[in-house]
């Protein structure tokens, strides 16, 4: 599970940063899910390691242009490139009308099936491996934060334990792996669950933008492995954050701290903190790290592989 930032500037692009979009590469399947699609996202995709032909889902946070103006161009290009996979798009209720209007006035037709889903708080998508939920944020227009949760994976089959108990390798291992109860040739009855290693915890990615500090973001991000949160402004410019319903670096850090996440990555920066100005992004990072040390700044094309957290009982060894 890997995220790639395709745009990290708020409102307008700059020379070094495009407007919002993140690609999520899923493990063990050739699929990319996109979170927001600001203008120019398809160009950013061309410069990244991600393939736009692998985009299967697009999750839109809200209807501001810096989050949606790249959507129609990207979908048009996907069609011309011969992509015929179905694409599901999730977002606020108005998204469907917006897409329909664009299609109508530009006389465009999708060359592949596209399904638009208006989201409401709660589960917006799930399959055997992932669940995506959303929660309302606090912005000038309806906005949603998204959480992608990977389901817990069963632990590896403990071959050593089976051998120690004198269970001969063969189809019986497969049955125990599946958790079945097996009667051995010598009459012993063994349970598959007794041979399962430590289950692997699923990874959780949370994306909160655009928003001012809100409790819903804290609830959505609870215990996540990585929280990507907007930090449009520095703490010194908090008045602007309150006026425009955006976050400061310190608000983002407070969300991370209250939610107990493992890693915070800040994004959606105002161009006012560009190099050469009085306040710079390094100041926003320092402000956030003073509250939540595990904070990083996003930059365009920055890729973060979400680590799988290991729950090893061996950690308890050595007490006393
Ligand atoms: Zn924005
Ligand atoms: Zn916005």
Separation of 163 CA from ligand 2 center, angstroms?
59
Whole-angstrom Cα distance, residue 89 to residue 147? 15
Task: List Cα–Cα distances, 102 to 97, 109, 272, 319, in angstroms.
Answer: 9, 10, 32, 64
Q: How confident is the model at residue 221 (pLDDT cuts 50, 70, 90)?
A: very high
**Residue 57 and residue 34 in contact, taking contact as beta carbons nearer than 8 Å:** yes
Q: How confident is the model at residue 311 (pLDDT cuts 50, 70, 90)?
A: low
Q: Is 94 annotated as a binding residue?
A: no
Separation of 264 CA from ligand 1 center, angstroms?
18
Separation of 97 CA from ligand 2 center, angstroms?
18
Please state which CATH number belongs to domain 2-153+199-313: 3.60.15.10
Averaged confidence pLDDT in the chain: 93
Enter the pTM of the model: 0.89
Domain layout of the chain by residue ranges: 2-153+199-313, 159-192
In this prediction, residue 66 carries a pLDDT of: 98
Q: Calculate mean pLDDT across residues 18-34.
A: 96
Whole-angstrom Cα distance, residue 210 to residue 1? 23
Catalytic residue among 36, 66, 225, 237: 66
Q: Is the pLDDT of residue 36 over 60?
A: yes
Q: Is 66 annotated as a binding residue?
A: yes
Whether 237 is a known active-site residue: answer no
End-to-end alpha-carbon separation of the chain, Å? 38
């Amino acid at each position: 599970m890997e995220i790639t930032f395709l745009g990290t500037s708020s409102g307008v692009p700059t020379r070094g940063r495009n407007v919002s979009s993140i690609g999520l590469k899923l493990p063990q399947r050739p699929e990319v899910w996109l979170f927001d699609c600001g203008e120019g996202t398809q160009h950013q995709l061309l410069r990244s390691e991600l393939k736009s032909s692998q985009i299967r889902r697009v999750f839109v946070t809200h209807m501001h242009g810096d989050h949606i103006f790249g959507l129609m161009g990207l979908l048009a290009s996907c069609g011309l490139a011969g992509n015929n996979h179905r694409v599901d798009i999730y977002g606020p209720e108005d998204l469907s009308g917006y897409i329909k209007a664009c299609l109508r006035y530009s006389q465009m037709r999708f060359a592949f099936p596209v399904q638009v889903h208006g989201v409401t708080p709660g589960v917006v998508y799930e399959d055997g491996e992932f669940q995506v939920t959303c929660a309302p944020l606090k912005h000038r227009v309806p906005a949603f934060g998204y959480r992608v949760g990977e389901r817990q994976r069963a632990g590896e089959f403990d071959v050593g334990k089976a051998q120690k108990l004198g269970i001969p390798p063969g189809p019986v291992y497969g049955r125990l792996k599946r958790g079945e109860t097996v009667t051995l040739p010598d009459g012993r009855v063994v349970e598959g669950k007794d041979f399962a290693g430590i289950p692997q915890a699923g990874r959780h990615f949370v994306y909160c933008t655009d928003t001012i500090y809100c409790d819903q973001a804290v609830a959505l991000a609870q215990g996540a492995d990585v929280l990507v949160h907007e930090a449009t402004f520095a703490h010194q410019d908090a008045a602007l954050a309150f006026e425009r319903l955006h976050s400061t670096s310190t608000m983002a850090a407070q969300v991370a701290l209250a939610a107990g996440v493992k890693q915070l990555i800040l994004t959606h920066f105002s161009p006012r903190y560009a190099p050469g100005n009085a306040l710079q992004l390094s100041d926003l990072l320092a402000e956030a790290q003073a509250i939540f040390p595990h904070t990083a700044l996003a930059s365009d094309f920055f890729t973060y592989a979400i680590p799988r957290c290991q729950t090893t009982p061996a950690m308890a060894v050595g007490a006393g």
